[in-house]
């Protein structure tokens, strides 16, 4: 394609595309004037300084290049562009116009209100398959790499259009088939069981092995601090283990204190008995507040 330039006035914006040849009209320009083709920008032709000039009305439109200067392109947007290209090429063929005359450079593809619009440049000497492949290179560069399906689509398009001749509609159908297979695999994949969060301040009671004292574990919910109350006469190797799994029984702190077995009192009583049995040395003169209570009971 030849040189192009933009012209902006107070009430109008235009794109001029030049061709290094004298301006000549065949059936294409009258066909474009007499028929308003959806997706094709209005065009006027004339000769300027010995060259053919084609002028396109772009007031209120935004080029693809400008749209994605500061943002990435996503799968749904790529699909919208391709769907529009397929629709426009079909329209051109119905009006006996050459699809190879479509301009598919990002700076000359325009957008307005959710629709894409293209320039039809009569006498264009490039192959549509080749220039569309160049457009797929632009898609790859401007991809949103957090959009997984967008990555699949852009790379499949780029790879498939490396061939000299290809069917874009068939490429999209094959992509849709593979996309459905990927979604099915994701849906069929078993989901991991969700761990239940424990309530704050709950106690897990773990059954002790035969001939061993009962062990109690305490969990402090989302705070991540887990403490175990053990009898001090137990060896270090028998300390309570930390677990985050589902407990067999849950007791609130109030329930533990009200138990006839003593709850918290039980552990302190064992510690006191250990002292009186002199497991920690000679403490003959130590007087406990519980001594009198035991005698009364």
Q: Given this model, what pLDDT does residue 213 score?
A: 47
In terms of phi and psi (left: phi > 0; alpha: psi -120 to 50; beta: otherwise), the region of 143 is beta
Domain boundaries, the chain: 4-188, 202-280
Q: From 1.10.510.10, 1.20.120.330, 3.40.50.1970, 1.10.8.60, which CATH number describes the 4-188 domain?
A: 1.10.510.10
Cα 294–chain centre separation: 68
Burial class of residue 154 in the structure, from the number of CB atoms within 10 Å of its CB (0-12 exposed, 13-18 middle, 19+ buried):
buried
Helix axes of 148-160 and 128-141: crossing angle, nearest 10 degrees: 150
SS3 at position 159: helix
Give the residue ranges of the chain where pLDDT is below 50.
Answer: 203, 212-265, 268, 275-280, 283, 297
pLDDT value at residue 296: 52
In this structure, the number of other CB atoms found within 10 A of the CB of residue 56 comes to 24
- DSSP H helices, the chain, are 28-34, 64-67, 75-94, 128-141, 148-160, 168-188, 253-258, 264-276, 290-296
Closest among 283, 210, 274, 215 to 247, alpha carbons compared: 215
What local confidence, expressed as pLDDT, does residue 185 receive? 84
Residue whose pair of structure tokens reads 């549509």 in the numeric block: 128
The enclosing H or E element of 8 equals strand 4-8
The pLDDT, as a whole number, for residue 130 is 92
Q: How many CB atoms lie within 10 A of CB 172?
A: 18
pLDDT score recorded for residue 6:
93
Helix axes 148-160, 168-188, angle to 10 degrees: 150
pTM greater than 0.95 (yes/no): no
């Amino acid at each position: 394609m030849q040189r192009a330039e933009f012209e902006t006035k107070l009430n109008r914006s235009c794109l001029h595309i030049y061709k290094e040849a004298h301006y000549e009209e065949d059936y294409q320009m009258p066909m474009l004037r007499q028929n308003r083709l959806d997706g094709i920008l209005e065009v006027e032709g004339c000769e300027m300084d010995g060259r053919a000039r084609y002028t396109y009305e772009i007031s209120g439109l935004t080029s693809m290049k400008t749209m994605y200067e500061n943002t990435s392109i996503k799968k749904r947007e790529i699909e919208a562009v391709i769907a529009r290209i397929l629709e426009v090429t079909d329209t051109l063929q119905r009006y006996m116009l050459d699809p190879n005359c479509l301009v598919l450079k990002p700076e000359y593809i325009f957008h307005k209100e959710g629709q894409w619009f293209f320039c039809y440049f009569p006498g264009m000497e490039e192959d549509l398959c080749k220039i569309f492949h160049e457009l797929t290179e632009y898609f790859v560069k401007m991809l949103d790499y957090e959009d997984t399906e967008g990555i699949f689509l852009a790379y499949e398009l780029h790879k498939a259009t490396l061939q000299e001749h290809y069917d874009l509609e068939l490429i999209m159908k094959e992509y849709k088939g593979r996309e459905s297979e990927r979604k099915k695999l994701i849906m069929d994949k078993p989901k991991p069981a969700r761990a239940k969060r424990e309530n704050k301040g709950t106690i897990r009671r773990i059954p002790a092995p035969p001939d061993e004292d009962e062990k109690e574990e305490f969990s402090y919910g989302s705070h991540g601090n887990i403490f175990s109350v053990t009898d001090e006469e137990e060896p270090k190797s028998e300390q309570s283990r930390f677990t985050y799994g589902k407990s067999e029984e849950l007791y609130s702190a109030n329930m533990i204190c009200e138990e006839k077995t003593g709850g918290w009192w039980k552990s302190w009583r064992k510690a006191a008995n250990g002292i009186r049995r002199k497991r920690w040395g000679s403490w003959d003169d130590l007087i406990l507040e519980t001594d009198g209570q035991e005698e009364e009971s």
